[in-house]
Amino acid sequence: MKTDLKALTNLIRYDILQMTTAAGTGHPTSSLSAVEIMTALWFDGYFHYDSQDPKYIFNDRMIFSKGHAAPLLYALYHAAGWIEYEELLTLRTFTSRLEGHPTTDLPWVDVATGSLGQGLSVGIGMTLGINLQLKKLGGLGSRAGGSPTAPPSNVAGKFDLPRSRASTDGRMKRGQNLTRTPNVYVLMGDSEFSEGQIYEALQVASEYKLSNLIGILDINRLGQRGETMLGWDIETYEDRIESFGWNTIVIDEGNDIDAVQSALTKIDFEGSKPTMIMVKTKKGAGISSVEDKDGWHGKPLPKDMLETALKELGEIDTNIRGIVEKPEKMSNDKSQMTNSYDLGTMKFEIPTGDMATREAYGAALKLIAKDPRVVVLDAETSNSTYAETMKEVAPERFFEMFIAEQNMVSVALGMSKIGLIPFVSSFAAFLSRAYDQIRMCQYSAPNVKIVGSHAGVSIGEDGSSQMALEDLGMMRSLLHAVVLYPSDPVSTIKLVDELRAHHGLSYLRLTRAKSGSLYEINESFPIGGSKVLVSSDKDEAVIIAAGITVHEALKAQKELAQNGTTIAVIDAYSVKPLDTQTIVKYATKTGNVIVVEDHYPDGGLGDSVRQALDGLDVKFFTHLAVGKTPRSGTSADLLNFEKIDAEAIVNTVKEKLSQCQSF
Amino acid sequence: MKTDLKALTNLIRYDILQMTTAAGTGHPTSSLSAVEIMTALWFDGYFHYDSQDPKYIFNDRMIFSKGHAAPLLYALYHAAGWIEYEELLTLRTFTSRLEGHPTTDLPWVDVATGSLGQGLSVGIGMTLGINLQLKKLGGLGSRAGGSPTAPPSNVAGKFDLPRSRASTDGRMKRGQNLTRTPNVYVLMGDSEFSEGQIYEALQVASEYKLSNLIGILDINRLGQRGETMLGWDIETYEDRIESFGWNTIVIDEGNDIDAVQSALTKIDFEGSKPTMIMVKTKKGAGISSVEDKDGWHGKPLPKDMLETALKELGEIDTNIRGIVEKPEKMSNDKSQMTNSYDLGTMKFEIPTGDMATREAYGAALKLIAKDPRVVVLDAETSNSTYAETMKEVAPERFFEMFIAEQNMVSVALGMSKIGLIPFVSSFAAFLSRAYDQIRMCQYSAPNVKIVGSHAGVSIGEDGSSQMALEDLGMMRSLLHAVVLYPSDPVSTIKLVDELRAHHGLSYLRLTRAKSGSLYEINESFPIGGSKVLVSSDKDEAVIIAAGITVHEALKAQKELAQNGTTIAVIDAYSVKPLDTQTIVKYATKTGNVIVVEDHYPDGGLGDSVRQALDGLDVKFFTHLAVGKTPRSGTSADLLNFEKIDAEAIVNTVKEKLSQCQSF
């Protein structure tokens, strides 16, 4: 029996209106415009999903980039029989899974959305992730009895997977037993199409020939405060999207279920381009009191208007349910999505000469590449960040993301939701470009490792624009982020592996300049630890440093020791979480703490150490940081200018000790 | 006598090579590709500029978005006779004005560049700024004796200025006495064209019909680590740029000065579209050892290669100089660019009901709009941020920037360089999207006011994606940024005016929820100040709060007072700079400090207060902040869940005092 899609759209509209009016808050009109396109994709055989097994690799994926259309998503869950009507009525209340914007509290939501313009990039990440995992699964693509055919090998990161041969319109007909590559669908609003990240995503999706990525652009003409730039100028949208190398399908009657059904048959899942379905719709479609009317963004209908609206919908079959097709079950296809991987003993020789921590990062990638889940993304700086070393050992797991940091971070998030472990690198200064994307990672149980090289004034000649001096503050401010800042090759390599094993959002700060080795290869560097590099029972002060200033602190310590002044030096490589216990111990012991860092004064290691000292009586606390606007010059020039070099540390220690004596 | 442009290009190449080899660092090849196009624009009569009067409103502007081509810029200065050859040889040394990327140390550089993809947006800001200022100047456009003609009035923010009638190719012929609208030129690289911000800028420039904005796209095919996505696929570039509503001019022989000269005559300065000059060039053009060769990004020629290269250039006329045309001098056209404006006494009635600080922001804009330099930009949220009130009083100074925060911030920076005072607003959470752009503002002597509404968990139902909980950390981490967080209508309005008068980069944090008035209209709120709301000589603790938590602190104080516990409450509305003196006074007095804020634990008010307490012996320091991932719910639900409400404060005070007594 053919599903009555029209009846389903009525139920979905009914649910959207009921739940938002019950909540007294929410976005019904932005939900209503996309009812037809979503109903057809879900219940006319396109969207394949096993709701009992959301992580299953052969599932299609569905991302609501326009997260404020959450009521539509929840209504689809209800129409699919996944949740009960009663739960809909808990929308936006404190204990409900049905939040104002979709979150990963729901098993079917891969990533939280709500900051617009990010969903397509996440979709790219999931598509690349699925394609990579399927490639690994190799012959598993065909069913028992068939001859396993490995996908053709291809250039690094570019995939050309065998497509479903079940039907030319990409729909899996029940009873057919052929392999089917999952598709990733991303619903977007027209307002968010002004976000630059969208164009970063468009270009990268076509560069990677992601034909199993399907965008849906809901062109309902109205934004939050009025008309969008392009309104219903579908032609211009189409010109733009096609110029980025996408297929386009235009549905002029986007709120006519028959027109939508008929248009969807044109999706080309077999080609080499991603497809954008452009749906001309009306905001508030189907409810004449709000349809295509300004001033109804983010407003539920008041109760009296709801009554009239429901009448307009006519009789609702509240028992009707649509069927979401399930993908075929493969036998052992989950084995590749393991959550742990033992690298065994890492072989690494300590370099005899000096080596920058960014170079050590490159060396580390070569080692951890043995874990097949590790993937590396870089924004056109891989020869500077040394991310390019991944190309030597696992080219299919290196992804050039070009100079487009926002897209890169969201892509990494998407990949992490397919069980991969992405390391994402660029100059640390430019990662600030993706702060909203990094911020949003927090809410999606992420496993994303952000790696910023060229941090601090020590980069020298390139000047202030290239110097990350706020990055520790930016990353510390996130709730659960891990922030690491190694000072030598061994600690860098060990920490990269710690990050590989740690599930979460993390940041690794790397230095451009070369420096000597401080540690032996058998030392360990747990997250949340620190290293006491020098100490004695006569310590008169403790220097707490990280990264490049550890070397300055050691130089200062030697000079002071020659003059009979004994101080301790701590390498606080784990800026967050900080090794509070050790810091407190030495602060208490000496009563004289000097923190030195290559970062602006606020937000970095200094603030982190201060937190550790809450309520302690530390007579002297000095913070040496980058207090003046830096400029071009040599690394030494800059460290000296900012008074964060050995000389400044020596002078500070002397000054504080003389104050201490006169105290 | 016609300037010998070919000889000038030789001199410029010579300078680029000499200065970078002397520096031993820098980007000669990225400079060489754009030599012909820049030489023609500068010295063939297009670029009009008075180097003695860089702020002159009738100057054209020139932005090097590809800031790493700084050697080319400096070579142009030398070819124009603005700087000496000897200075070129100081490139990238510590005391030189000639930094690795252009900075505002040079009088002719309006904004520092070096973080790619931002220049076009800055150019939009400068163009909008120039056009607005010229509109204000009105009849000044025509010379004495002519009849002043005011530009036609137009829709808010959209300009249709009278164009030069001197010649159809836009060039001002010497001796002609007609008005000329300045043009803004932006040089971009092809690698940076993958930044999403570029597309945000393209769409907004055409939306505002900025025909006096001229982009130059140097398509030299090679990025830092290899070929760009599009290589020399000029047609695709053209399709994309045209689809965004721009004129395009393609120069296939971009390193042939005759071809370039001839193509430039096609610029349409008269129409209603911005123009992109697309120049197909070779990286390292003119020097065969590096021309169109990979692996030469950011590398100067070693001395031996330099010798050969210089020979290849042939004889150099080191005395030749080009002429940059100067704009006509108007009589009193600088009067509108005043640096101060006295608003007189502001009339404002304290609302009798509750009012959110975002609403007060709207009220403030109406008042400060009397200062003609104030402009307001918003990213499609003006009905939520209340920025829309500006439309009521000065529609021509309200700029809808749509959902594209990166472009918005850079546009504001550009406007500020034309003497305007931009207030830039969106939801605080989404301003994190523009962190790199905000970061870059620091290096351009900016006057930009960032305004973030809907901060904190107190926004309630919309959920975590919409809650700014890292924004104080993000903004505090910048070196000289002012960070303000008012708690009531009066303080908001006063602080908005403080920001208007303060020249610099600043952030104002606003709350969604309504709250009561705390202050009288005659109170003042200096930047760096605070308000002691409650205190007595018996204070047993001090609560330091800001924004919404001030109200919770006051509730807690009342409840505690009823039970005989006396505490002080401080409104630390100036998070940075903090009122250290007052904080220290109360911390010393009570020895019991409780900071409470609607922000994640790191980077915000807590860290700011800790800095003030460096070296002080404060027995009890407690920090109440958002320590759990928030979710949808009512404002009260969330404040309670995160333990930052009155109840949590009361409990903390009681607990600390009991510890204190047992101490």
Question: pLDDT (tens digit, 9 = 90+) per residue, A531-572?
Answer: 999 999 999 999 999 999 999 999 999 999 999 999 999 999
Strand partners, A216: A187, A277
Amino acid making up residue B428: A
User: Catalytic: which of B396, B405, B470, B498?
Assistant: B405
Residue B315 has pLDDT above 70, yes or no: yes
Q: At A612, is the secondary structure helix, strand, or coil?
A: helix
Quick check: B537 and B511 in contact, CB under 8 A? Answer: no
Amino acid making up residue B312: E
| Residue B368 distance to chain A (closest CA, Å) | 23
Compute the distance between CA of residue B487 and CA of residue A568 in angstroms, rounded to an integer. 44
Q: Residue length, chain B? A: 663
Identify the band that residue A332 occupies on the pLDDT scale cut at 50, 70 and 90: low
Quick check: A570 and A581 in contact, CB under 8 A? Answer: no
Q: Which of B630, B570, B632, B569 is nearest to B598 (CA)?
A: B630
Residue A329 has pLDDT above 50, yes or no: yes
Quick check: B278 and B219 in contact, CB under 8 A? Answer: yes
Helix residue ranges, H only, A89-155: 119-137
- Pairing assessment for the beta strands B514-515 and B355-356 based on DSSP bridges: antiparallel
**What is the pLDDT averaged over residues B112-120?**
98
Neighbours of B657 (CB within 10 A): 17
Q: At A423, is the secondary structure helix, strand, or coil?
A: strand
Interface check for B30 against chain A (CB to CB < 8 A): the answer is no
**What is the pLDDT averaged over residues A118-145?**
78
Token reading at A592: 């004289």
b/e B85-96 (16+ beta carbons within 10 angstroms → b): eebbbbbbbbeb
Closest alpha carbon within chain B to A69: B462
What's the whole-number average pLDDT of chain A? Answer: 92
Interface check for B618 against chain A (CB to CB < 8 A): the answer is yes
What is the C-alpha R_g of chain B?
28
User: What is residue A353's predicted lDDT score, i.e. its pLDDT?
Assistant: 85
Interface check for A292 against chain B (CB to CB < 8 A): the answer is no
Interchain pair B207, A196: CB under 8 A:
no
Determine if residue B78 is left, alpha or beta; phi over 0 gives left, psi from -120 to 50 gives alpha, anything else beta. Answer: alpha
Q: Among the listed ranges B73-77, B312-316, B325-329, which one has the minimum average pLDDT value? A: B325-329
User: What is residue A347's predicted lDDT score, i.e. its pLDDT?
Assistant: 79
Interchain pair B641, A94: CB under 8 A:
yes
Interface check for A466 against chain B (CB to CB < 8 A): the answer is yes
By the 10 Å C-beta count (0-12 exposed, 13-18 middle, 19+ buried), B155 is classed as exposed
- Taking chain A, what is the end-to-end CA distance rounded to the nearest angstrom? 90
Interface check for B462 against chain A (CB to CB < 8 A): the answer is yes
User: What is residue A269's predicted lDDT score, i.e. its pLDDT?
Assistant: 85
User: What is residue A257's predicted lDDT score, i.e. its pLDDT?
Assistant: 98
**What are the DSSP calls for B506-561, one per residue?**
EEEE--SSEE---S-TT----TT--EEEE--TT-SEEEEE-THHHHHHHHHHHHHH
Compute the distance between CA of residue A47 and CA of residue A60 in angstroms, rounded to an integer. 6
What is the percentage of chain A residues whose pLDDT exceeds 70?
92
Identify the band that residue B338 occupies on the pLDDT scale cut at 50, 70 and 90: low
The structure tokens 């973030």 sit at B452
- Pairing assessment for the beta strands A355-356 and A514-515 based on DSSP bridges: antiparallel
Interface check for A97 against chain B (CB to CB < 8 A): the answer is no
Identify the band that residue A331 occupies on the pLDDT scale cut at 50, 70 and 90: low
Minimal Cβ distance to A637: which of B94, B100, B623: B94
Cis peptide bond upstream of B151, omega within 30: no
Q: Which of A641, A552, A562, A636 is nearest to A594 (CA)?
A: A552
Residues from chain A that touch B402, judged by Cβ atoms under 8 A, are 191, 194, 223, 228-229
What order of strands is seen across the sheet that includes strand B531-534?
B531-534, B567-571, B541-545, B592-596, B620-624
Interchain pair B462, A101: CB under 8 A:
yes
Question: pLDDT (tens digit, 9 = 90+) per residue, A180-195?
Answer: 899 999 999 999 999 9
Quick check: A529 and A574 in contact, CB under 8 A? Answer: yes
**What is the pLDDT averaged over residues A241-257?**
98
Token reading at A138: 């190799």
Q: At B403, is the secondary structure helix, strand, or coil?
A: coil
Identify the band that residue A337 occupies on the pLDDT scale cut at 50, 70 and 90: low
Compute the distance between CA of residue B388 and CA of residue B400 in angstroms, rounded to an integer. 9
Strand partners, B448: B505
Q: Among the listed ranges A343-357, B292-306, B552-566, B568-582, which one has the minimum average pLDDT value? A: A343-357
ipTM value for the complex: 0.94
Compute the distance between CA of residue B473 and CA of residue B554 in angstroms, rounded to an integer. 25
Interchain pair A477, B470: CB under 8 A:
yes
| Residue A141 distance to chain B (closest CA, Å) | 31
Quick check: B426 and B381 in contact, CB under 8 A? Answer: yes
User: What is residue B152's predicted lDDT score, i.e. its pLDDT?
Assistant: 32
Which one has a higher pLDDT value, B151 or B326? Answer: B326
User: What is residue A214's predicted lDDT score, i.e. its pLDDT?
Assistant: 98
Amino acid making up residue B625: A
Question: pLDDT (tens digit, 9 = 90+) per residue, B632-663?
Answer: 999 999 999 999 999 999 999 999 999 877 75
Question: pLDDT (tens digit, 9 = 90+) per residue, B590-647?
Answer: 999 999 999 999 999 999 999 999 999 999 999 999 999 999 999 999 999 999 999 9
Closest alpha carbon within chain B to A203: B194
User: How many whole angstroms from its chain centre is CA A202?
Assistant: 17
**What is the pLDDT averaged over residues B519-529?**
95
User: What is residue B330's predicted lDDT score, i.e. its pLDDT?
Assistant: 72
Minimal Cβ distance to A439: which of B470, B610, B631: B470
* Best B194, B208, B583, B660 residue to mutate vs chain A (most A CBs within 10 Å): B194
**Phi, psi of A14, deg, nearest 5:** -55, -50
Identify the band that residue A450 occupies on the pLDDT scale cut at 50, 70 and 90: very high
Interchain pair B197, A195: CB under 8 A:
no
Neighbours of B616 (CB within 10 A): 17
Interface check for A116 against chain B (CB to CB < 8 A): the answer is yes
Interface check for B649 against chain A (CB to CB < 8 A): the answer is no
Alpha carbon separation from A123 to A127, A129, A407, A484 (Å, rounded): 6, 10, 10, 29
Question: pLDDT (tens digit, 9 = 90+) per residue, B436-448?
Answer: 999 999 999 999 9
Q: At A275, is the secondary structure helix, strand, or coil?
A: strand
What is the C-alpha R_g of chain A?
28
Q: Among the listed ranges A53-57, A307-311, B164-168, which one has the minimum average pLDDT value? A: B164-168
Compute the distance between CA of residue A432 and CA of residue B470 in angstroms, rounded to an integer. 13
Quick check: A87 and A100 in contact, CB under 8 A? Answer: no
Identify the band that residue A661 occupies on the pLDDT scale cut at 50, 70 and 90: confident
3-state helix, strand, coil in chain B (%, to 5): 40, 15, 45
Q: Which of B112, B53, B99 is nearest to B413 (CA)?
A: B112
Quick check: B69 and B34 in contact, CB under 8 A? Answer: yes
Q: At A606, is the secondary structure helix, strand, or coil?
A: helix
**What is the pLDDT averaged over residues A496-503?**
97
Identify the band that residue A160 occupies on the pLDDT scale cut at 50, 70 and 90: very low
Closest alpha carbon within chain B to A70: B462
Q: Among the listed ranges A125-139, A225-239, A401-415, B56-70, which one has the minimum average pLDDT value? A: A125-139
Identify the band that residue B138 occupies on the pLDDT scale cut at 50, 70 and 90: low
Compute the distance between CA of residue A394 and CA of residue A14 in angstroms, rounded to an integer. 51
Cis peptide bond upstream of A577, omega within 30: yes
Q: Among the listed ranges A65-69, A100-104, A169-173, which one has the minimum average pLDDT value? A: A169-173
Reported in sequence order, the residue ranges of A482-588 that DSSP labels E, i.e. its strands, are: 482-484, 505-509, 514-515, 531-534, 541-545, 567-571, 574-576
**What is the pLDDT averaged over residues A29-42?**
98
What is the percentage of chain B residues whose pLDDT exceeds 70?
92
Compute the distance between CA of residue A67 and CA of residue B430 in angstroms, rounded to an integer. 14
Residue A119 has pLDDT above 90, yes or no: yes
CA angle, B19 then B23 then B27, to 5°: 70
Compute the distance between CA of residue B38 and CA of residue B185 in angstroms, rounded to an integer. 10
The catalytic residue positions of A are 405
Interface check for B442 against chain A (CB to CB < 8 A): the answer is yes
Interface check for A334 against chain B (CB to CB < 8 A): the answer is no
Residue B420 has pLDDT above 80, yes or no: yes
Compute the distance between CA of residue B401 and CA of residue B384 in angstroms, rounded to an integer. 15
| Residue B23 distance to chain A (closest CA, Å) | 9
Model's pTM, two decimal places? 0.95
Q: Return all residues near A290 (Cβ < 8 A) that are at least 6 apart.
A: A28, A29, A32, A283, A284, A296, A301, A305, A309
User: What is residue B6's predicted lDDT score, i.e. its pLDDT?
Assistant: 97
What order of strands is seen across the sheet that includes strand B213-219?
B61-64, B184-189, B213-219, B275-280, B247-251
User: What is residue B243's predicted lDDT score, i.e. its pLDDT?
Assistant: 98
Interface of B with A in 379-438 (CB under 8 A): 380-384, 388, 402-407, 429-430, 432-433, 435-436
Identify the band that residue B168 occupies on the pLDDT scale cut at 50, 70 and 90: very low
Compute the distance between CA of residue B221 and CA of residue B643 in angstroms, rounded to an integer. 55
Compute the distance between CA of residue A284 and CA of residue A32 in angstroms, rounded to an integer. 5
**What is the pLDDT averaged over residues A628-656?**
97
Token reading at A650: 């020596």
Compute the distance between CA of residue A369 and CA of residue A374 in angstroms, rounded to an integer. 6
Residue A151 has pLDDT above 50, yes or no: no
Q: At B651, is the secondary structure helix, strand, or coil?
A: helix
Identify the band that residue B125 occupies on the pLDDT scale cut at 50, 70 and 90: very high
Residues from chain A that touch B629, judged by Cβ atoms under 8 A, are 442-443, 479-480
